[in-house]
Amino acid sequence: MKDFEDKLKRLEELSNAIKKPELKLEEALKYFEEGINLAKGMEKDIDKIEGKIQILMNNKVNMPEESPELDLFSSLD
């Protein structure tokens, strides 16, 4: 899977599939394992993105005098 959105979509699909009562235990375990692996990979992706954001925020060479408004990200805390 190429990007974060694709991974998230697959994780949602797995979550919905696991909730089906007719799903066999072996299949549910397979989906669960795939979901855990996806979630771990997504966590690494988020860590990389956060690192890039920190670098950009700490790089004052190309930044204007005023700090940018970050209200867009305040709900993520």
pLDDT tens digits along 18-76: 999 999 999 999 999 999 999 999 999 999 999 999 888 888 655 556 666 666 656 55
Q: Does the CA dihedral 61-64-67-73 come out positive or negative?
A: negative
- Name the amino acid, one letter, at 53: I
Predicted TM-score (pTM) of the model is 0.65
CA angle in degrees (0–180, nearest 5) for 5-9-12: 140
For 37-53, give one letter per residue: b (16+ CB within 10 A) or e.
ebeeeeeeeeeeeeeee
